[in-house]
Structure 1
Amino acid sequence: MRQFCKALLRLSVVALAAINLAACGIAGTNFGMARLSEKECMMRAMYFESNRSSAEGMLAVGTVVINRLNDPRYPKSICGVVGQKNQFAQGVLTRPMTDSGAVLASQVADQVLSGARHPGVQSAQHFHTAGLRFPYNNMFYVLEAGGNEFYERRRVR
Structure 2
Amino acid sequence: MFLSARSIIRFAALAVAATSLGGCSFLGMNFAMNQMSEKECLMRAMYFESNRSSAEGMLAVGTVVMNRMHDSRYPKTVCGVVGQKNQFAQGVLSKPMTDSGAVLASQVADQVMRGQRHPGVQNAQHFHTAGLRFPYNNMFYVLEAGGNEFYEKRSVR
Structure 1 runs of 4+ aligned residues shifted over 4 Å read 5-10
Distance 2:62 2:34 in 1: 20
Letter in 1 for 2:127: F
The equivalences for 1:15-30 within 5 A come to none
Change over 3 Å in CA distance of 1:125–1:103 after alignment to 2: same
Task: Look at both structures and tell me which one has the larger radius of gyration over its CA atoms.
Answer: 1
Per the alignment, residue 45 of structure 1 pairs with 45
The unaligned stretches of length 5 or more in structure 1 are none
Aligned to 1:55: 55
Q: Secondary structure at the match of 2:112?
A: helix
SS class of match (2:88): coil
Deviates more, 1:29-38 or 1:81-90: 29-38
Whole-Å Cα distance in 1 between the matches of residues 30 and 42 of structure 2?
Answer: 15
Normalised by the length of structure 2, the TM-score is 0.84
Q: When you count helix as a share of all residues, which structure comes out higher?
A: 1
Query: What is the distance in 2 between the residues matched to 1:30 and 1:118?
Result: 32
Residue 33 (1) aligns with residue 33 (2): yes
Structure-2 change in CA distance of 1:71 and 1:106 (3 Å): same
Q: Is the 8 A contact 1:30 1:83 kept in 2?
A: no
CA contact (8 A) 1:30 1:93 kept: no
Q: CA deviation at 1:16?
A: 5.7
* Residues 134/110 of structure 1: CA separation in 2 closer, same or farther (3 Å cut): same
- What does 1:1-157 align with in structure 2 at a 5 Å threshold? 12=9, 31-157=31-157
**Matched residue count:** 151
SS at match of 2:142: strand
Q: Provide the TM-score with structure 1 as the length reference.
A: 0.84
**Counterpart Cα distance in 2 of 1:52 and 1:7:** 46
Whole-Å Cα distance in 1 between the matches of residues 96 and 13 of structure 2?
25
